[in-house]
Structure 1
Amino acid sequence: MQEWFSPAEIAELRLPSTPGTKMGVNALADRNNWRDASTHNNDPLARKRKGRGGGWEYHWSLLPIPAQTELQKREIARKKAEAPQSNGRGSTAARVDWEWFEALPEARKKKAHDRFAVLDAICTLQRGALSKDQAVCSVSAQQNIGASTIYNWFKLVEGLDRKDWLPALCPRHAGRTKKVPCDPLAWECLKADFLRLEKPPFAACYLRLETAAQENGWTIPAARTLERRLESEIPAPVRVLLREGSEKLKMMYPPQVRDRSEFHAMEAVNVDGHKWDVWVEFPDGEICRPIMIAIQDLYSNKCVAWRVDKSENSDLVRLAFGDLFREYGIPDHAWLDNGRGFAAKCISGGTPNRFRFKVKPEEPSGILTALGINIHWTTPYSGQSKPIERMFRDFCNHIAKHPKFAGAYTGNKPDAKPENYRSKAIPLDEFLKVVGEGIRVHNARPKRNTRVCGRVRSFDQAFDASYADSVIRKAAPEQLRMCLLAAEQIRTDQRSGRIELMGNFYWDECLHDHMGKSIMVRFDPDFLHDSVYAYRLDGSFIGEVGLWEASGFADRNAAREHGRKRRAFINLTKKAAEIERTLSLEEYMDLLPDSDDADAAPQPAAVRLVTGNLARQAEALPTPDDEEDFSRNFRAGLQILQGGRDE
């Protein structure tokens, strides 16, 4: 960069804040005493011009600040324009490689920053009216760096903007890059042996490679060299795929983070089955690990409904959804597992994207489909697709290992069985009581670490706050009855119409029209003491039928209550009969035609005379005495038949 300028040259440059004529520049120099200016080292900033007519020359640092800035910009632009022709150090893109610079270790980056600081100090001194050589000598002495080294650094950044100096100043030595020779066929044999699903250790693979190399005359490097080459040349995902399989490869890709705060309470639910690690004794004496169908609200993570049975089946799913509809309402979306119980036609019939069964046009709509719930199927064997799996993990830690289940806990895998494995089984009633309390505690635990709860609220609190501000579809009684189990071909009592179901009796007046007939009954097997619902075999509704409770044999109060209800029933029936029969018997008889008005019997065309033995003989009319004798003899005959006659 040119450092000294005459007034004519300054005027010709047309710099900002400077006059455009030689006379104007001289006047500016006189006003600011440029000829007397000097540096802090007393080096003059103005000098007599040698040759070419004499006159004065001024250092560029005397110019106004805007003029200095513009002069530097023009110098940088000039160097950039001249760089392709004059600079043999390579293109700007090759020297300014920020991606390469960012990938370097911090030690090499620090060297670039140190070099930048040296060059920046020299530029600062130049702005303070020192020449470049003087600034280089000063900084070189302070930093104990050779002047030639500093000039080489300036060559590295020549023609570059200051913002791109760091990559250009960074050392580019690559270190040792020479590779020990290895026969290509030996390298391929090593990869074929090492990259197998059996996961052989590298040491064993190298021993086999040494044997093959001796027989074939291959040149191979040391074991550690080949091991480093495997790690550097074969990407880690490829090694995992070939040695551990595709499932392990999936785990290398981070799971999708899905924001469920876009929902509101009861807008979407997640449903799945869980097999408890507890031995439970059912009322029929069978001991097994029960299955629970649980429904989780996706917005708040609250467990909103659950049912337990021996196995996963469509009836269990139906009852769990019935509890959900009854307590909270009908969701808009449901994410279901691809199990047989969920894919049953009675649950999701008519859904076009079901994974099981062929959907037919005439297939009856399932419960969820009929209620307008959008069904989504989760990926099989993918816990990441089902947030409810995290809830089941909490159940395993806090409920399955409850002190009341000691001795009945099975362990979560075959090799994790406790020493007291299967030493006892928990009765079903006690198991359900502990599970219910555990789920209540799970929902009420505060400071949940979710986006919705924010480490402050519990699942219950988050659910209640959103539920109160949301529009929820409620289920009608007819829709709730769709979720109950159906028992077909239940024959009612011939005299009263009473129903017997699973050892319980049910009766209502609506059954009188179906006495002795077969009907269908919908019921909840876990609440048999509640009412059941009677349907005709064609599916039409009859009515709600209450439980007919049994009473003690000597219970006089129950007997009086039963008599009171029966008398009320009889009286109501009599009143209904009076309402129905508005015409008396006498009025009805008056409406009948007289016998004289009856049509005469038709006469035959001819009469045949009967003679001989075929003619019937005339019989005498019985007299009153004969009638008395007949009655007396008839009673005597009855006594003989009854064994009451005296011998």
Structure 2
Amino acid sequence: MVTVGQRPWLTMTEIAALKLPDMPDSRQGVLKKVTVENWLEPETEGQAWRHREGQGGGYEFALTILPLRAQIEAARSLQGLSRDPVAAAESETIGKRKRAALWKHYDTLPNKLKDKARNAYRILDAVEALVSAGQRKYVAMMLIASQERVSMRTIQFWYKRVRGLNKCDWLAALAPNYARPSERMHCPCEAWDILVSDYLRLEAPTFASCYARLVKIAEARGWTLPSRRTLLARINALPVPMRVLAREGSEKLKALYPAQRRDHSVFHALEAVNADGHKFDVFVEWPIGDETRIVRPVMVGFQDIFSGKILSWRIDISENKETVRLAFGDMVERYGIPKLCYLDNGRNFASKWLTGGVPNRYRFKVRDEEPLGILPQLGVEVHWTKPYSGRSKPIERAWRDIASDISKHPAFAGAYTGASTTAKPENYASKAVPLETFISVVAEGIADHNARTGRRSDVCKGKYSFDQVFEASYRRSVITKASAEQRRLWLLPAEQITVSRRDGVVEIEGNRYWAEFLEEHRGTKVVVRLDPQDLQADIHVYRMEGVYLGAAKCVAKTGFADKDAARRHQQAYKAYARANRDLAEKTKRLSDEELAAVFASLPREEEPPMESTVTRMFTAPQAQGNTALATQFMAEAEAREIEEEESDENILRFLKRSR
């Protein structure tokens, strides 16, 4: 054995001595195989075989001419003899690549060409069966060629195709490998760029119009274009996703990509919720003060992700942060506090009053001084989703059902607006439904939506309704309920409301609220929390610094001649007065007589008379009239008498001293 160019060359004796698989173990057997399979083809000289140099002559063969298993085993056996240790590994790698290429080509062929390969394999297999039975190979090929009506040359050509391969790879090697057709007709690069750029536009022009414009340019510039059919085939050969993106937009491209299927059963009832708003395609009469406006109401709802049930909803003129807060409060009030909440990063859902302080809140800047939102205060983990994304918010799918079922309700005939401006019904805007009717129909529709059986979700399994699976999971789940203090968080605040000085009444939107504790805060300003859509409910009153005072009930207005209301009012006042009277009696421990006796028992000390060492002449005030003049005259006369008496006393004292 010698190596040339770092590739081993083996004689027939050396091949037989290695006792390789799929090869004879004698020199005569190897020579027979060489003769039958025509290894010594002139065109493969120097690559697969060569004349042996040196004494004795003969032939030497490369490992690549051997069957694949024989190549691998020969490389392993010769690993220590070869001067290049990587020769065996190189041979094995080449064999693997050749097999992979053969089967890859076979897999791309149509069935018509695969049938030709199967027929050739069947014929060669029949020849091998005769050889195994003891028949000479040349005779076997003649017999099979006559029987199958193929030429000996064709069978020899097929054997040439499978030479050096394991029989398990013969089918792939026998597959037709027709030469590629001649080079397709050339299209000028600039013309192709113009056609592609014109066709791949969001306006989605037809290929016919693009080709017609290209023909005009080609005639002006002297270009020779392929046929219209050829260019259309080349356009259609462009990747489909790229064409969809360029002509129909990113949303259509997104629809081509397989949607992510999310398993809702990983949650339990109320563990995770999602929320969104929906604008109804219905005209509604909405009272605002003394006026009535025609609007399309908006509903904000919260949905349980596990079951798909709509847990709470509120309706307003627009989607605003107050409606979101109240809808969230309704859900917590009735069912409890969820652990996870999926919201889109819209302005109303990302408001500071709802999600303030959440670290990943990117709609607004997260400021250190901003108040902590309701969801973080309740320990709800917020996850943001893309707006208008039904894949990340299942409630989007629920809105489609509701829009189809509720908006086209018989009670809304004539008020339905249509799904778009181009799909208006013939009776468009012929009427608007009253708000009370609209709310009752929506409530009934949502109840039906939750109670409908046979839902095909992964939780309902085509049998149950949203209500049923939610109730079953809710009963066996650990649910966190909100405390009385937490329930007041989602009520809307109204600041600087002045308590009446007269009777302690708080008045909001024409409604009066009163509680006994308000009498202690008459004339002061307070903060109240209330539900603006339920002004008959209690309001909660706080001091301006945030100290909770209590709840005040609504004092309803009654008819002037309503005797029952007057009697109830009088009874309530008597109870109020009696309670305060009893409280006063318990607080006042001493009677009036006992209190007077306490003060009478105190010792009394008489104060000595006080004398002043400084006197001042009395001067009567000036006045007019007879009485005033008489008073002035008498005062002047008394003053003169005092002066005369003082003068006499002074003379007597002077005489005493002179004696």
* TM-score, L = length of structure 1: 0.77
Rounded to whole Å, the distance in 2 between the matches of 1:14 and 1:274 is 77
Rounded to whole Å, the distance in 1 between the matches of 2:607 and 2:149 is 151
Give the partner amino acid of 1:262: V
Asked if the contact 2:67/2:164 (under 8 Å) is kept, the reply is no
Asked if the contact 1:182/1:220 (under 8 Å) is kept, the reply is yes
Q: How does 1:92-241 map to 2 (within 5 A)?
A: 93-94=97-98, 96-97=100-101, 98-133=103-138, 135-174=140-179, 176-232=181-237, 234-241=238-245
Of 262, 276, 279, the match for 2:280: 276
Give how far 1:155 is off. Answer: 2.6
Aligned equivalent of 2:408? 401
Q: Deviations over 1:247-285 (max 9, x none)?
A: 444443333333332222111111111000000112331
Give how far 1:606 is off. Answer: 2.1
Give how far 1:516 is off. Answer: 3.5
Structure 1 pair 525/600, CA: closer, same or farther in 2 (3 Å)?
farther
Rounded to whole Å, the distance in 1 between the matches of 2:18 and 2:160 is 29
2:69 aligned with 1:77, yes or no?
Answer: yes
Give the partner amino acid of 1:226: L
Asked if the contact 1:96/1:168 (under 8 Å) is kept, the reply is no
Rounded to whole Å, the distance in 1 between the matches of 2:408 and 2:145 is 74
Of 252, 263, 266, the match for 2:270: 266
2:380 aligned with 1:373, yes or no?
Answer: yes
Aligned equivalent of 2:369? 362
Of 500, 520, 539, the match for 1:532: 539
Give how far 1:531 is off. Answer: 2.2
Give how far 1:11 is off. Answer: 14
Structure 1 pair 604/357, CA: closer, same or farther in 2 (3 Å)?
farther
* Higher mean C-alpha deviation, range 478-487 or range 246-255: 246-255
- Match of 1:384, SS state, is coil
Asked if the contact 2:20/2:70 (under 8 Å) is kept, the reply is no
2:479 aligned with 1:472, yes or no?
Answer: yes
* Higher mean C-alpha deviation, range 352-361 or range 550-559: 550-559
> Structure 2 stretches of 5 or more lacking a match?
1-15, 22-65, 76-86, 623-630, 636-659
2:329 aligned with 1:322, yes or no?
Answer: yes
**How many pairs does the alignment contain?**
547
* Higher mean C-alpha deviation, range 128-137 or range 480-489: 128-137
- Match of 1:486, SS state, is strand
> Structure 1 stretches of 5 or more lacking a match?
1-9, 16-73, 619-647
Structure 1 pair 228/589, CA: closer, same or farther in 2 (3 Å)?
same
Asked if the contact 2:20/2:73 (under 8 Å) is kept, the reply is no
Give how far 1:456 is off. Answer: 1.9
Give how far 1:524 is off. Answer: 1.9
Q: How does 1:546-557 map to 2 (within 5 A)?
A: 546-557=553-564
Q: CA RMSD in A?
A: 3.3
* Higher mean C-alpha deviation, range 391-400 or range 592-601: 592-601
Give the partner amino acid of 1:597: E
Structure 1 pair 115/274, CA: closer, same or farther in 2 (3 Å)?
same
Structure 1 pair 168/230, CA: closer, same or farther in 2 (3 Å)?
same
Give how far 1:145 is off. Answer: 3.1
Rounded to whole Å, the distance in 1 between the matches of 2:432 and 2:598 is 78
Structure 1 pair 504/216, CA: closer, same or farther in 2 (3 Å)?
closer
Give how far 1:332 is off. Answer: 1.2
Give the partner amino acid of 2:189: P
Q: How does 1:432-471 map to 2 (within 5 A)?
A: 432-471=439-478
2:505 aligned with 1:501, yes or no?
Answer: no
Structure 1 pair 311/75, CA: closer, same or farther in 2 (3 Å)?
closer
Rounded to whole Å, the distance in 2 between the matches of 1:426 and 1:394 is 21
Aligned equivalent of 1:544? 551
Give the partner amino acid of 2:614: A
Asked if the contact 2:336/2:481 (under 8 Å) is kept, the reply is yes
Q: How does 1:284-363 map to 2 (within 5 A)?
A: 284=288, 285-363=292-370
Rounded to whole Å, the distance in 2 between the matches of 1:468 and 1:149 is 78
Rounded to whole Å, the distance in 2 between the matches of 1:457 and 1:123 is 64
Structure 1 pair 595/610, CA: closer, same or farther in 2 (3 Å)?
farther
Structure 1 pair 475/14, CA: closer, same or farther in 2 (3 Å)?
closer
The percent identity for this pair of structures is 46
Structure 1 pair 607/428, CA: closer, same or farther in 2 (3 Å)?
same
Rounded to whole Å, the distance in 1 between the matches of 2:133 and 2:611 is 156
Give the partner amino acid of 2:380: I
Rounded to whole Å, the distance in 2 between the matches of 1:362 and 1:612 is 71
Aligned equivalent of 1:18? none
Rounded to whole Å, the distance in 1 between the matches of 2:20 and 2:255 is 66
* Higher mean C-alpha deviation, range 344-353 or range 546-555: 546-555
* Higher mean C-alpha deviation, range 153-162 or range 461-470: 153-162
Rounded to whole Å, the distance in 1 between the matches of 2:606 and 2:226 is 131
Aligned equivalent of 1:607? 615
Rounded to whole Å, the distance in 1 between the matches of 2:554 and 2:590 is 38
- Match of 1:487, SS state, is strand
Aligned equivalent of 2:59? none
Give how far 1:129 is off. Answer: 4.6
Q: Deviations over 1:521-566 (max 9, x none)?
A: 2222333333222222222222122233344444444433333332
